[in-house]
Amino acid sequence: MIAIIGAGGHASCVYECLLTAGETVAGFYDDDPRLEGKEIVDGKKVLGTPDRLEQEERIKTVFVAFGDNRQRLERCRYYSSCGYRQPRAVHPRVYISSFARVGKGSFLMGAALVNPRARVGDYVIVNTSATVGHDCVLEDGVQVGPGVNLAGGSYLEEGAFVGIGARVAPNVRIGAWSVVGAGAVVLHDVPPGVSVYGTPARVKEQ
């Protein structure tokens, strides 16, 4: 029995993947108490806030379905410290090389591709039709948007976000908690904690 933490659109996508993987989903838990009783998808409702979940002895498995990288990573690490199991959620139309690694609590959406020797950390999102090239490293809490292409050897540090349709050249390193804007083409390393946009991508001036 698994509980999904979060009740937005991202959570409904997670639900579908868990369902196809044979998981039994109890329902959703959300920080907003006003959502209690609301149906999210497939007859499954918000059962309450996460503090109520911790009183449910029958549920020892969770999946945190937050799109925000920092909030997701923080909450996932909290549940890990509490001893909850956090499985992967992988769409049946995802290809993961047998020589790649994908960590716990990560979510891979339809038509995503993970090539040989890639290492996808814990609590990562690889979105629809994104490709992760050979020898890439995605540290914990990274998010790769729909249609992103990461060339071989790309390295995304903790919490980095790569927006929809962006391209990252071979062996480029994206710093921790940096943001790559939609459609950007990243040809050079990106320092931590900045936002880059454009073709070629440049740091956004504050």
User: Which CATH architecture best describes the domain 88-197?
Assistant: 3 Solenoid (2.160)
pTM for the model stands at: 0.96
* Blockwise average pLDDT, block size 10, the chain, 206 residues: 96 94 94 97 96 91 98 98 96 96 97 98 98 98 98 98 98 98 98 97 84
pLDDT at 44: 97
pLDDT at 12: 96
pLDDT at 141: 98
pLDDT at 205: 72
CATH of domain 2-81: 3.40.50.20
Domain ranges of the chain: 2-81, 88-197
67 CB-contact burial (10 Å; exposed 0-12 / middle 13-18 / buried 19+) = middle
Distance CA 24, CA 48 (A): 18
